[in-house]
Structure formats: C-alpha cells, structure tokens
Amino acid sequence: MSRLLRTLSYAWPAPYTCAGLVFGLLVIAFGGSARVRRGTLEFGGGALGRWIGRSRIPFGAITIGHVVLGLDHLMLDRVRNHEQVHVRQYERWGPLFVPAYLLASAIAWMLGGDLYRDNVFEREAFDKARG
Ligand SMILES: [Zn+2]
C-alpha cells in the first residue's frame, strides 16, 4: 500500500481512534497495559479487565478505530484476526462506520435476526477470521 493510502487509512477513522485512546488511557490508569500489534494499539488487563471479566457483561474485546480494548492480552491474542477485520472496516468506512454498523444491526433485527451475529460487519469479521 502506498504511503499516502496508508496515511489516509489512519486519518479517515482518526476521530474513532482518538475516542479509543481515551478508553485506552482509562485501561492504563487502572493498571492495564498497551501493545502495538499489526499497526493497531491494543489495551488490556488491569482492574477494569478483571472487573468486566467477573461481571455478567458478555465482553471480550472491542475495536474503536485503530484501538482495540480487551479483557486482557490473552483475549486480545485470541480475537486479533476478528478485530483486525473491524480495523479494516473502520479504514474503509471512516466516520461512517459506527452509524453503518448500527444500521446493519437494526436491519438484522428487523429481518428477525440477531443484532450482533447477523450484522453484516460481524458476519464479515467472523468469516474472514475463520480463514
Ligand atoms: Zn466483531
């Protein structure tokens, strides 16, 4: 990929990446840590990860621009392929990604499907992560 395209792929979803960094700093403030994997900043661990892990909240990781927040780094290793598909989706859709994702969930629900599993963005991520 050319340098210009690579730069644009980071700039286009940058508002989301900035929001993800704020959450990432919270992870750090509560004892978590950050790593760079495949051009993405991954945050995990610490008290927030332990608290969410013990709760009934069904959460493993979430991608916000070029930031991935996870329960811990083992979880981030496990879901990296899936979350990297979401990173590519953010690069493709930029600021439109979250509204498009929510619309896709609404359409899935209106068609009688599951908000998460039948969302076209999730289906792409599950399909590509499987290989
Ligand atoms: Zn996903």
Going from the Cα of 10 to the center of ligand 1, the distance in angstroms, rounded, reads 19
Length of the chain: 131
Q: What is the mean pLDDT of the chain?
A: 95
pLDDT band at 91 (very low <50, low <70, confident <90, very high): very high
- Report the alpha-carbon distance of residue 71 to residue 84 in Å, rounded: 16
Going from the Cα of 130 to the center of ligand 1, the distance in angstroms, rounded, reads 12
pLDDT band at 53 (very low <50, low <70, confident <90, very high): confident
% of residues, the chain, pLDDT over 70: 100
- Report the alpha-carbon distance of residue 93 to residue 13 in Å, rounded: 8
Write the pLDDT tens digit of every residue in 92-119: 999 999 999 999 999 999 999 999 999 9
pLDDT at 58 over 90: no
